[in-house]
Amino acid sequence: MGRYVIKRLLMMIPVLICVSFVVYFLMDLAPGDIIASMAPPDATPEQIELMREELGMNGTVFHRYFRYLKGLLRLDLGQSLSQKRPVADIFFERLPRTMELAFGSIFVALLIAIPLGIAAATHHRTWLDGVSMTTSMIGVSMPNFWFGLLLIIAFSLHHKWFPSYGADLGLKSLVLPAITLGTEQAGTLTRITRSSMLEVIRQDYLRTARAKGVSEKMVIRKHALKNALIPILTVLGSTLGNAFGGAVTTEAIFAWPGVGRLTVMAVNSRDPNLACGCIIMFSLLLNVTLLVVDIAYAYVDPRIKAHYAK
Protein backbone atom coordinates (compact mmCIF):
# COMPACT_ATOMS: atom_id res chain seq x y z
CA MET A 1 0.00 0.00 0.00
CA GLY A 2 2.77 2.45 0.98
CA ARG A 3 4.64 1.79 -2.24
CA TYR A 4 1.48 2.29 -4.24
CA VAL A 5 0.85 5.67 -2.62
CA ILE A 6 4.41 6.82 -3.28
CA LYS A 7 4.15 5.71 -6.89
CA ARG A 8 0.94 7.65 -7.33
CA LEU A 9 2.45 10.75 -5.72
CA LEU A 10 5.49 10.61 -8.02
CA MET A 11 3.22 10.24 -11.04
CA MET A 12 1.64 13.57 -10.16
CA ILE A 13 4.88 15.50 -10.81
CA PRO A 14 4.89 15.28 -14.63
CA VAL A 15 1.16 16.03 -14.66
CA LEU A 16 1.64 19.18 -12.63
CA ILE A 17 4.56 20.32 -14.82
CA CYS A 18 2.38 19.93 -17.92
CA VAL A 19 -0.37 21.92 -16.27
CA SER A 20 2.03 24.71 -15.35
CA PHE A 21 3.35 24.83 -18.93
CA VAL A 22 -0.08 25.08 -20.51
CA VAL A 23 -1.37 27.69 -18.09
CA TYR A 24 1.77 29.83 -18.25
CA PHE A 25 1.75 29.99 -22.05
CA LEU A 26 -1.98 30.62 -22.22
CA MET A 27 -1.60 33.48 -19.77
CA ASP A 28 1.11 34.92 -22.01
CA LEU A 29 -1.15 34.70 -25.08
CA ALA A 30 -3.89 36.68 -23.35
CA PRO A 31 -3.91 40.34 -24.36
CA GLY A 32 -2.91 42.93 -21.79
CA ASP A 33 0.30 43.60 -19.92
CA ILE A 34 0.20 43.64 -16.15
CA ILE A 35 3.54 45.50 -15.81
CA ALA A 36 2.38 48.31 -18.08
CA SER A 37 -0.85 48.61 -16.16
CA MET A 38 0.98 48.63 -12.82
CA ALA A 39 3.38 51.39 -13.86
CA PRO A 40 2.43 54.99 -13.17
CA PRO A 41 0.71 56.62 -16.19
CA ASP A 42 3.65 58.91 -16.92
CA ALA A 43 6.32 56.18 -16.85
CA THR A 44 8.77 56.06 -19.76
CA PRO A 45 9.35 52.81 -21.62
CA GLU A 46 12.76 52.62 -19.94
CA GLN A 47 11.18 52.80 -16.53
CA ILE A 48 8.70 50.07 -17.43
CA GLU A 49 11.54 47.88 -18.68
CA LEU A 50 13.36 48.43 -15.40
CA MET A 51 10.26 47.39 -13.48
CA ARG A 52 9.98 44.27 -15.60
CA GLU A 53 13.51 43.30 -14.66
CA GLU A 54 12.92 43.93 -10.98
CA LEU A 55 9.85 41.73 -10.97
CA GLY A 56 11.55 38.98 -12.95
CA MET A 57 9.24 39.44 -15.93
CA ASN A 58 11.90 40.28 -18.54
CA GLY A 59 12.99 38.11 -21.44
CA THR A 60 10.93 35.87 -23.73
CA VAL A 61 8.08 33.75 -22.45
CA PHE A 62 10.42 30.74 -22.51
CA HIS A 63 12.92 32.46 -20.26
CA ARG A 64 10.19 33.49 -17.90
CA TYR A 65 8.62 30.06 -17.83
CA PHE A 66 11.89 28.29 -17.07
CA ARG A 67 12.61 30.76 -14.29
CA TYR A 68 9.15 30.01 -12.94
CA LEU A 69 9.61 26.25 -13.29
CA LYS A 70 12.92 26.40 -11.43
CA GLY A 71 11.08 28.06 -8.57
CA LEU A 72 8.33 25.47 -8.73
CA LEU A 73 10.79 22.61 -8.43
CA ARG A 74 12.04 24.25 -5.26
CA LEU A 75 8.39 24.31 -4.11
CA ASP A 76 8.32 28.09 -4.57
CA LEU A 77 5.14 29.40 -6.19
CA GLY A 78 6.64 32.87 -6.60
CA GLN A 79 5.26 36.33 -5.91
CA SER A 80 1.89 37.65 -6.96
CA LEU A 81 2.40 40.77 -9.08
CA SER A 82 -1.00 42.25 -8.39
CA GLN A 83 -0.98 41.68 -4.64
CA LYS A 84 2.78 41.90 -4.09
CA ARG A 85 2.77 38.93 -1.70
CA PRO A 86 3.89 35.30 -2.02
CA VAL A 87 1.34 33.29 -4.04
CA ALA A 88 1.42 30.47 -1.49
CA ASP A 89 0.34 32.84 1.30
CA ILE A 90 -2.63 34.13 -0.68
CA PHE A 91 -3.65 30.64 -1.76
CA PHE A 92 -3.54 29.00 1.63
CA GLU A 93 -5.34 31.93 3.18
CA ARG A 94 -8.29 31.20 0.93
CA LEU A 95 -8.07 27.42 0.61
CA PRO A 96 -10.06 26.62 3.79
CA ARG A 97 -13.08 28.47 2.36
CA THR A 98 -13.04 26.40 -0.82
CA MET A 99 -12.56 23.18 1.14
CA GLU A 100 -15.57 24.09 3.25
CA LEU A 101 -17.60 24.68 0.14
CA ALA A 102 -16.45 21.52 -1.66
CA PHE A 103 -16.95 19.20 1.29
CA GLY A 104 -20.14 20.95 2.32
CA SER A 105 -21.53 20.42 -1.16
CA ILE A 106 -20.47 16.76 -1.21
CA PHE A 107 -22.15 16.32 2.13
CA VAL A 108 -25.35 17.83 0.75
CA ALA A 109 -25.02 15.70 -2.39
CA LEU A 110 -24.60 12.45 -0.45
CA LEU A 111 -27.42 13.37 1.88
CA ILE A 112 -29.71 13.63 -1.14
CA ALA A 113 -28.22 10.95 -3.37
CA ILE A 114 -27.81 7.93 -1.08
CA PRO A 115 -31.38 7.76 0.27
CA LEU A 116 -32.89 8.76 -3.07
CA GLY A 117 -30.78 6.24 -5.00
CA ILE A 118 -31.58 3.44 -2.56
CA ALA A 119 -35.28 4.23 -2.61
CA ALA A 120 -35.26 4.23 -6.41
CA ALA A 121 -33.49 0.85 -6.52
CA THR A 122 -35.59 -0.86 -3.88
CA HIS A 123 -38.76 0.45 -5.54
CA HIS A 124 -37.54 -0.24 -9.03
CA ARG A 125 -40.13 0.55 -11.72
CA THR A 126 -42.59 2.14 -9.33
CA TRP A 127 -43.62 5.79 -9.09
CA LEU A 128 -40.92 6.36 -6.46
CA ASP A 129 -38.26 5.29 -8.92
CA GLY A 130 -39.73 7.65 -11.52
CA VAL A 131 -39.87 10.58 -9.13
CA SER A 132 -36.31 10.18 -7.95
CA MET A 133 -34.94 9.76 -11.46
CA THR A 134 -36.79 12.86 -12.64
CA THR A 135 -35.53 14.80 -9.64
CA SER A 136 -31.97 13.78 -10.36
CA MET A 137 -32.34 14.74 -14.03
CA ILE A 138 -33.52 18.18 -12.95
CA GLY A 139 -30.56 18.41 -10.57
CA VAL A 140 -28.10 17.60 -13.33
CA SER A 141 -29.58 19.85 -15.97
CA MET A 142 -30.35 22.92 -13.88
CA PRO A 143 -27.66 25.58 -14.41
CA ASN A 144 -26.09 26.20 -11.06
CA PHE A 145 -25.86 30.00 -11.34
CA TRP A 146 -29.59 30.11 -11.95
CA PHE A 147 -30.44 27.78 -9.07
CA GLY A 148 -28.11 29.78 -6.79
CA LEU A 149 -29.92 32.97 -7.67
CA LEU A 150 -33.29 31.32 -7.00
CA LEU A 151 -32.06 30.27 -3.56
CA ILE A 152 -30.84 33.80 -2.85
CA ILE A 153 -34.19 35.27 -3.87
CA ALA A 154 -36.14 32.78 -1.78
CA PHE A 155 -34.04 32.40 1.34
CA SER A 156 -32.07 35.60 1.73
CA LEU A 157 -34.13 38.32 0.05
CA HIS A 158 -37.59 37.02 0.80
CA HIS A 159 -37.14 35.10 4.06
CA LYS A 160 -33.80 36.55 5.22
CA TRP A 161 -32.76 33.19 6.73
CA PHE A 162 -29.33 32.98 5.21
CA PRO A 163 -26.88 35.64 3.95
CA SER A 164 -26.58 36.03 0.19
CA TYR A 165 -22.85 36.72 0.07
CA GLY A 166 -19.60 36.28 1.94
CA ALA A 167 -18.47 33.77 4.52
CA ASP A 168 -18.66 35.87 7.65
CA LEU A 169 -21.48 34.02 9.39
CA GLY A 170 -19.79 30.60 9.45
CA LEU A 171 -22.06 27.64 8.86
CA LYS A 172 -25.02 29.89 8.13
CA SER A 173 -23.13 31.44 5.22
CA LEU A 174 -22.20 28.04 3.90
CA VAL A 175 -25.75 26.70 3.62
CA LEU A 176 -26.87 28.28 0.34
CA PRO A 177 -23.60 27.87 -1.58
CA ALA A 178 -23.28 24.26 -0.42
CA ILE A 179 -26.85 23.48 -1.50
CA THR A 180 -26.30 25.15 -4.87
CA LEU A 181 -23.16 23.19 -5.61
CA GLY A 182 -24.43 20.05 -3.87
CA THR A 183 -27.62 19.63 -5.91
CA GLU A 184 -25.55 19.77 -9.06
CA GLN A 185 -23.43 16.85 -7.82
CA ALA A 186 -26.40 14.99 -6.34
CA GLY A 187 -27.92 14.15 -9.72
CA THR A 188 -25.00 12.06 -10.92
CA LEU A 189 -24.51 10.49 -7.53
CA THR A 190 -28.17 9.48 -7.29
CA ARG A 191 -28.02 7.75 -10.65
CA ILE A 192 -24.89 5.82 -9.79
CA THR A 193 -26.27 4.87 -6.35
CA ARG A 194 -29.41 3.57 -8.00
CA SER A 195 -27.67 1.57 -10.67
CA SER A 196 -25.10 0.02 -8.38
CA MET A 197 -27.80 -0.83 -5.83
CA LEU A 198 -29.88 -2.44 -8.59
CA GLU A 199 -26.87 -4.55 -9.47
CA VAL A 200 -26.23 -5.60 -5.88
CA ILE A 201 -29.87 -6.23 -5.01
CA ARG A 202 -30.02 -9.26 -7.32
CA GLN A 203 -27.07 -10.97 -5.68
CA ASP A 204 -27.40 -14.33 -3.98
CA TYR A 205 -25.60 -13.22 -0.84
CA LEU A 206 -28.52 -10.99 0.09
CA ARG A 207 -30.70 -14.09 0.10
CA THR A 208 -28.19 -15.74 2.44
CA ALA A 209 -28.45 -12.73 4.73
CA ARG A 210 -32.25 -12.86 4.70
CA ALA A 211 -32.16 -16.59 5.39
CA LYS A 212 -30.08 -15.88 8.49
CA GLY A 213 -32.87 -13.67 9.77
CA VAL A 214 -31.37 -10.27 8.93
CA SER A 215 -34.15 -7.68 8.70
CA GLU A 216 -34.93 -6.17 5.32
CA LYS A 217 -33.71 -2.78 6.53
CA MET A 218 -30.31 -4.18 7.48
CA VAL A 219 -30.08 -6.29 4.34
CA ILE A 220 -30.22 -3.04 2.36
CA ARG A 221 -28.26 -0.75 4.67
CA LYS A 222 -25.54 -3.15 5.68
CA HIS A 223 -25.19 -5.98 3.23
CA ALA A 224 -26.22 -4.25 0.01
CA LEU A 225 -24.99 -0.71 0.61
CA LYS A 226 -21.45 -1.70 1.51
CA ASN A 227 -21.16 -3.50 -1.81
CA ALA A 228 -22.85 -0.70 -3.73
CA LEU A 229 -20.45 1.83 -2.22
CA ILE A 230 -17.60 0.56 -4.37
CA PRO A 231 -18.85 2.08 -7.65
CA ILE A 232 -20.25 5.06 -5.76
CA LEU A 233 -16.76 5.85 -4.47
CA THR A 234 -15.32 5.93 -7.98
CA VAL A 235 -17.78 8.57 -8.98
CA LEU A 236 -17.33 10.42 -5.71
CA GLY A 237 -13.71 11.10 -6.66
CA SER A 238 -14.64 12.82 -9.88
CA THR A 239 -17.58 14.49 -8.14
CA LEU A 240 -15.15 16.13 -5.75
CA GLY A 241 -13.20 17.25 -8.80
CA ASN A 242 -16.37 18.76 -10.23
CA ALA A 243 -17.05 20.40 -6.91
CA PHE A 244 -13.68 22.15 -7.00
CA GLY A 245 -14.38 23.23 -10.57
CA GLY A 246 -17.98 24.19 -9.86
CA ALA A 247 -16.70 26.22 -6.94
CA VAL A 248 -15.61 28.87 -9.46
CA THR A 249 -19.17 29.78 -10.49
CA THR A 250 -20.69 29.16 -7.09
CA GLU A 251 -18.07 31.32 -5.41
CA ALA A 252 -18.81 34.04 -7.92
CA ILE A 253 -22.58 33.96 -7.25
CA PHE A 254 -22.21 34.08 -3.49
CA ALA A 255 -19.10 36.27 -3.39
CA TRP A 256 -17.51 33.40 -1.52
CA PRO A 257 -13.90 34.27 -0.64
CA GLY A 258 -12.43 31.00 -1.89
CA VAL A 259 -9.77 29.90 -4.33
CA GLY A 260 -12.16 29.76 -7.28
CA ARG A 261 -12.82 33.47 -7.16
CA LEU A 262 -9.13 34.11 -6.52
CA THR A 263 -8.27 32.28 -9.73
CA VAL A 264 -10.74 34.31 -11.72
CA MET A 265 -9.31 37.48 -10.25
CA ALA A 266 -5.77 36.38 -11.05
CA VAL A 267 -6.63 35.70 -14.67
CA ASN A 268 -8.49 38.98 -15.03
CA SER A 269 -5.57 40.96 -13.68
CA ARG A 270 -3.15 39.00 -15.94
CA ASP A 271 -1.11 37.95 -12.92
CA PRO A 272 0.71 34.90 -14.32
CA ASN A 273 2.29 33.68 -11.10
CA LEU A 274 -0.93 33.85 -9.12
CA ALA A 275 -3.07 32.25 -11.85
CA CYS A 276 -0.55 29.46 -12.44
CA GLY A 277 -0.06 28.89 -8.74
CA CYS A 278 -3.79 28.61 -8.13
CA ILE A 279 -4.37 26.19 -10.96
CA ILE A 280 -1.38 24.03 -10.11
CA MET A 281 -2.48 23.80 -6.51
CA PHE A 282 -6.01 23.04 -7.66
CA SER A 283 -4.88 20.10 -9.76
CA LEU A 284 -2.58 18.90 -7.00
CA LEU A 285 -5.57 18.96 -4.67
CA LEU A 286 -7.68 17.08 -7.16
CA ASN A 287 -5.04 14.40 -7.65
CA VAL A 288 -4.60 13.93 -3.93
CA THR A 289 -8.38 13.63 -3.55
CA LEU A 290 -8.53 10.93 -6.20
CA LEU A 291 -5.73 9.10 -4.44
CA VAL A 292 -7.55 9.30 -1.12
CA VAL A 293 -10.67 7.91 -2.80
CA ASP A 294 -8.62 5.05 -4.24
CA ILE A 295 -7.29 4.25 -0.79
CA ALA A 296 -10.80 4.43 0.65
CA TYR A 297 -11.74 1.70 -1.86
CA ALA A 298 -9.40 -0.72 -0.23
CA TYR A 299 -11.21 -0.21 3.02
CA VAL A 300 -14.57 -0.98 1.47
CA ASP A 301 -13.54 -3.78 -0.83
CA PRO A 302 -11.24 -6.44 0.63
CA ARG A 303 -10.53 -7.76 -2.85
CA ILE A 304 -8.80 -4.52 -3.79
CA LYS A 305 -6.84 -4.43 -0.56
CA ALA A 306 -5.42 -7.81 -1.39
CA HIS A 307 -4.48 -6.46 -4.82
CA TYR A 308 -2.48 -3.54 -3.35
CA ALA A 309 -0.71 -5.77 -0.91
CA LYS A 310 0.99 -7.60 -3.76
Partner 1 sequence: MDKDLILDLKNLVVRFETEDGIVHAVNGIDLEIERGHAIGLVGETGAGKTTTALSLLRLVPKPPGVVECSKMELDGKDVLNMSVRELEQTRGKDISMIFQDPMTALNPVFSVGEQIAEAILLHENVSKAESMKRAIGMLELVGIPAERAYDFPHEFSGGMKQRVVIAIALACHPQLLIADEPTTALDVTIQAQVLDLMRRLREQYKTSLIMITHDLGIVAEICDEVAVMYAGKIIERGTLQDVFNRTKHPYTEGLFNSIPNINDRKAMLTPIKGMMPDPTNLPEGCAFEPRCPYAGEDCKRPQAKRDISETHSVLCCAYDRPGFHIDRKERS
Question: What's the closest the beta carbon of residue 212 comes to partner 1, in angstroms?
Answer: 4
Is the CB of 212 or the CB of 310 nearer to partner 1?
212
Q: From CA 174, how far away is CA 166, in angstroms rounded?
A: 9
**Is the CB of residue 86 less than 8 Å from the CB of residue 80?**
yes
Q: Is there binding between residue 300 and partner 1 (CB under 8 A)?
A: yes
Q: From CA 42, how far away is CA 300, in angstroms rounded?
A: 65
Is the CB of 2 or the CB of 302 nearer to partner 1?
302
For the chain, give the number of residues: 310
Is the CB of 37 or the CB of 126 nearer to partner 1?
126
Number of residues that bind partner 1 (CB under 8 A): 22
Q: Is there binding between residue 298 and partner 1 (CB under 8 A)?
A: no
Q: From CA 262, how far away is CA 257, in angstroms rounded?
A: 8
Question: What's the closest the beta carbon of residue 219 comes to partner 1, in angstroms?
Answer: 10
Question: What's the closest the beta carbon of residue 116 comes to partner 1, in angstroms?
Answer: 23
The 10 Å CB-count burial string (b at 16+, else e) for 97-110 is bbebbbebbbebbb
Q: Is there binding between residue 303 and partner 1 (CB under 8 A)?
A: yes
Segment interacting with partner 1 (CB under 8 A) among 56-64, 145-153, 242-250, 299-307: 299-307
**Is the CB of residue 182 less than 8 Å from the CB of residue 106?**
yes
190-229 mask for partner 1 (x: CB under 8 A)? -------------xxxxxxxxxxxxxx------x--xx--
Question: What's the closest the beta carbon of residue 307 comes to partner 1, in angstroms?
Answer: 10
CB atoms within 10 A of CB 67: 15
Cα 309 to its chain centre, rounded Å, is 30
- What residues line the site for partner 1 (CB under 8 A)? 203-216, 223, 226-227, 300-303, 306
